[in-house]
Amino acid sequence: MMSSKRRLQELANTLHQSATKDDITKAAKAVDKEVSHTDEKLHDEEIRTGIAEQLFFKLATIMDTFETPGAEEVICIICHALLYVHECSLEMKSSSHDDIGVTLLEKVIERCRNGNLIHGSHNILCYAVLALLNLSQAPSVQIKMVKKPGFMELLINVVMTEPSLSIRAAAIEIIANLSLAIDAFSLSTNKANFVDLLMLCNLFVKTAADESDNVREASARGLLNLSPYFEMEMSLSHSTELLEVL
């Protein structure tokens, strides 16, 4: 019987060697089937074997080489696999992360929201945001994401305008994670956005379904993480809306 490590190496090699859209789709499906589990140690081994690296590489190939409408199936498969493979340890999240990977997931989100990805765009958007959420749990990744131009603005836009509650919830959880890496300088340029975002998040989930609890909890966590940097901390502490969030 083939060992798990050897199996992963073969899957990574097959994905690496695939060139046509059909071959990439077939290889990505095999990888997705292999990584769709919740065993953290196995995910760590997948990262070490290069599975995530190859998934990002093929996502770049698909995004750059093939017309986006019509490539939704393979993009969805790859994003789903990236979501699962990054349910690894914090150490492996850090080693897997690079700016290119996050940039690719940003592009996927942007194309979903501007209509370039049509079929299955909801699932693609959901998987891409959740993959970023998994990555954002690692402190070293948080710092890089916070410093990435336009990244926070994209997340804010998703929270403010995305119809899907589950996707908005994931986006606000990412922002809450990233708030741990906000320093006084970066906050000084985005303070109003953060306050408005988190307060508004509390307002629009008040009448939502039960799953909105996740959004409220993430909003409260983000505000607590940011509170040391607010110049108007005392006035915020007397805000009725803030007290309701906390």
- For 189-217, the pLDDT digits (tens) are 555 555 555 554 554 444 343 455 777 77
Mark whether 163 and 116 lie in a shared domain.
Answer: no
* Tokens representing residue 154 in the block: 């994209």
Of 85, 108, 135, the domain-final residue: 135
In order, the DSSP letters of 148-185 are: STTHHHHHHHHHHH-S-HHHHHHHHHHHHHHGGG--HH
Q: 183 and 202, same structural domain?
A: yes
Say what percent of the chain tops pLDDT 90: 45
- Looking at the structure, tell me whether residues 11 and 131 fall in a common domain: yes
Q: Given a cut of 70, is residue 120 above it in pLDDT?
A: yes
* pLDDT computed for residue 188 by the predictor: 45
Residue 44: pLDDT over 50: yes
pLDDT of residue 226: 64
Residue-wise pLDDT for 125-154, tens only, equals 999 999 999 999 999 899 888 888 889 889
Average pLDDT over residues 66-77: 84
Q: Give the DSSP letter of residue 71.
A: -
Mean pLDDT value across residues 171-186: 75
Which of 135, 165, 185 is at the close of a domain? 135
Count of domains forming the chain = 2
Which amino acid is residue 171, in one-letter code? A
Same domain, 6 and 122: yes
Q: Check residues 61 and 242 and name the one with the higher pLDDT.
A: 61
Residue 246 near residue 223 (C-beta atoms within 8 A):
yes
200 and 131 in a common domain? no
Last residue in a domain, options 84, 107, 135: 135
**pLDDT tens digit string along 76-118?**
999 999 999 999 999 999 988 677 899 999 999 999 988 877 7
**Structure confidence at residue 182 as a pLDDT band (50, 70, 90):** low
Copy the structure tokens of residue 30.
Answer: 């095999």
Decide: helix, strand or coil at residue 129.
helix
The pLDDT value recorded for residue 203 is 43
Mark whether 124 and 151 lie in a shared domain.
no
Cα 124-126-131 angle, rounded to 5 deg: 95
Residues 218 and 232 occupy one common structural domain? yes
Confidence at residue 208, expressed as pLDDT on a 0 to 100 scale: 40
Whether the per-residue pLDDT at 67 is higher than 50: the answer is yes
Residues 15 and 84 in one domain: yes
Residues 2 and 114 in one domain: yes
- Regarding whether 58 and 170 lie in a shared domain, the answer is no
Q: What is the pLDDT of residue 214?
A: 74
Confidence of residue 219 (pLDDT cuts 50, 70, 90): confident
Whole-number pLDDT of residue 204 = 42
Contact 51, 11 (CB under 8 A): yes
Mean pLDDT of 30-37: 97
238 and 179, same structural domain?
Answer: yes
Instruction: Name the band, by pLDDT with cuts 50, 70 and 90, for residue 229.
Output: low
Q: Are 59 and 80 within one domain?
A: yes
- Mean pLDDT for all residues in the chain: 81
CA–CA distance, 54 with 145 (Å, rounded to integer): 21
**According to the model, what pLDDT value does residue 107 have?**
94
pLDDT at 52 over 90: yes
Scanning 66-211, the segments in alpha helix (DSSP H) are: 72-85, 90-96, 99-114, 121-135, 139-147, 151-161, 165-178, 184-205
Answer yes or no: is pLDDT of 168 > 90.
no
Domain that holds residue 64: 1-135
Q: What is the CA radius of gyration of the chain?
A: 19
